[in-house]
């Protein structure tokens, strides 16, 4: 694997998982859909101003915008709504990251059918080991007698489904059809706009857009917009273009230890002994999953409209 790709992975993992912490800072001042409403309308406005200022704004047509919008709704709207709802119900950020880390398993199961990238045996073994590492601490924490607890731990599985579909759809388009490709900044704009439009409905209907404009909330929003929505998502699509879908998705397994560390620093979240055992098992799965399967295992190519 090239050094530039390794550096991108390190930065991506940090930025991506900082989103859990940023969201937990913001949720006391606005509920899930309201927080995401402000986040994505602000992001959409910033991207629009940027595109207009650079003379890059364009309407490429419904045929090219539609797949980009669908991917955005899944990878931004659905994914984040499920994550934030879980945090809102009191599930620690590190444990939410553990649940979301199941996503590589789903990607591995369907990648061959969706994009013609069969998963080598050593990656299957790695994904299975990672899955076991995720399950161990989760089962120790869920209170199966409480519907609230069950709901809180079950909601992130919606994130797993949404991100799996988004990653495989994006990868399928990259591999089989380049006619849809848009410049990255234009892509992010239409993904953000589609997400903002969809989130507007529950933000008004369910939460009445109730917001406390506390300095902490504003600071959290700034980081979520610039560091996560712009930084992390851009790097994710770059990595999807460079690597096959299963290997990019397996990076989710690195989320739990990083997020638990951030949660401990930011909120004093406790780490149980089974959490550590699970993390060790997950680390073994990640190492096995990331092994080279041959020269063709890393595909270098342009992300949507990168040129």
| Segment 245-297, tens digit of pLDDT | 566 766 767 777 788 888 888 887 777 787 788 878 877 877 776 665 443 33
pLDDT, average across residues 33-37: 97
pLDDT, position 266: 80
CA–CA gap between residue 199 and residue 65 (Å, rounded): 18
What pLDDT, in 10s, does the model give residues 106-149? 776 777 767 676 777 877 787 788 778 878 888 888 888 888 88
Q: Which residue in this structure is represented by tokens 């800072």?
A: 25
In a domain, 213, yes or no: yes
Using the predicted structure, report yes or no on whether residue 207 has a pLDDT greater than 90: yes
> What distance in Å separates the CA atoms of residue 205 and residue 2, rounded to the nearest whole number?
48
* Structural domain includes residue 305: no
CB 130 within 8 A of CB 290: no
Domain assignment present for residue 235? The answer is yes
Question: What is the pLDDT, as a whole number, of residue 293?
Answer: 42
pLDDT at 174 over 90: no
| 3-state SS string for 239-306 | HHHHECHHHHHHHHHHHHHHHHHHHHHHHCCCCCHHHHHHHHHHHHHHHHHCCCCCHHHECCCCCCCC
pLDDT for residue 120 = 77
Q: Is the pTM of this model over 0.85?
A: no
- The per-residue pLDDT for 301 is 34
Q: Is residue 304 part of a domain?
A: no
Contacts with 195 (C-beta within 8 Å, 6 or more apart), sequence order: 36, 40, 72, 73, 76, 77
Inside any domain, residue 156:
yes
Number of domains in the chain: 1
Residues 6 or more apart from 199 whose CB is under 8 A from it? Answer: 33, 36, 37, 40, 77, 81
Mean pLDDT of 189-215: 96
Using 50, 70 and 90 to split pLDDT, how confident is the model at 185? confident
Is residue 118 assigned to a domain? yes
Is residue 100 in a domain? Answer: yes
Is the pLDDT assigned to residue 68 strictly greater than 60?
yes
| Structure confidence at residue 294 (pLDDT) | 40
Average confidence score pLDDT of the chain: 82
Q: What pLDDT does residue 250 have?
A: 67
Give which of 84, 45, 32 is closest to 211, Cα–Cα. 32
In the predicted model, what is the mean pLDDT of residues 86-113? 80
Q: What is the pLDDT at residue 290?
A: 64
3-class DSSP assignment, residue 178? coil
Higher pLDDT, 13 or 211: 211
Q: Which whole-number Å values give the CA distances from 48 to 54, 89, 300, in the listed order?
A: 10, 34, 30
Percent of the chain with pLDDT over 70: 86
Residue 246's domain comprises 3-297
Do the beta carbons of residue 201 and residue 262 sit within 8 Å?
no
- Nearest partner of 81 among 189, 169, 187, 155, judged by Cα: 155
Q: Does 171 map to a domain?
A: yes
What pLDDT is stored for residue 179 in this prediction? 62
Q: How many CA atoms lie within 13 A of 140 on its CB side?
A: 16
């Amino acid at each position: 694997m090239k050094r530039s790709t390794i550096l991108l992975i390190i930065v991506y993992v940090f930025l991506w998982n900082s989103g859990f912490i940023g969201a937990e800072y913001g949720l006391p001042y606005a509920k899930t859909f309201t927080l995401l409403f402000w986040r994505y309308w602000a992001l959409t406005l910033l991207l629009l101003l940027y595109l207009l200022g650079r003379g890059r704004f364009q309407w490429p047509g419904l045929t090219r915008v539609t797949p980009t919008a669908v991917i955005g709704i899944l990878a931004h709207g659905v994914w984040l709504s499920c994550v934030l709802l879980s945090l809102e119900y009191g599930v620690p950020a590190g444990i939410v990251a553990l649940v979301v880390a199941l996503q590589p398993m789903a990607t591995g199961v369907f990648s061959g059918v969706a994009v013609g990238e069969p998963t080598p045996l050593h990656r299957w073994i790695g994904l299975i080991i990672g899955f076991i590492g995720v399950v161990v601490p989760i089962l120790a924490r869920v209170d199966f007698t409480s519907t609230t607890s069950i709901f809180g731990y079950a909601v992130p599985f919606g994130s797993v489904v949404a991100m799996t579909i988004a990653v495989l759809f994006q990868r399928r388009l990259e591999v089989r059809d380049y006619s849809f490709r848009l410049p990255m900044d234009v892509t992010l704009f239409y993904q953000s706009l589609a997400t903002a439009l969809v989130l507007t409905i529950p933000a008004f209907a369910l939460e009445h857009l109730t917001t406390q404009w506390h300095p902490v909330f504003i600071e959290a929003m700034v980081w979520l917009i610039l560091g996560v929505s712009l930084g992390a998502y851009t790097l994710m699509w770059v990595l999807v273009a460079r690597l096959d879908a299963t290997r990019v998705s397996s990076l989710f397994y690195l989320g739990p230890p990083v997020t638990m560390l951030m949660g401990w620093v930011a909120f004093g979240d406790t780490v149980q002994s089974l959490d550590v055992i699970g993390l060790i098992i997950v680390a073994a799965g990640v190492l096995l999953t990331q092994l080279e399967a041959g020269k063709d295992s890393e595909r270098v190519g342009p992300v949507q409209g990168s040129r």
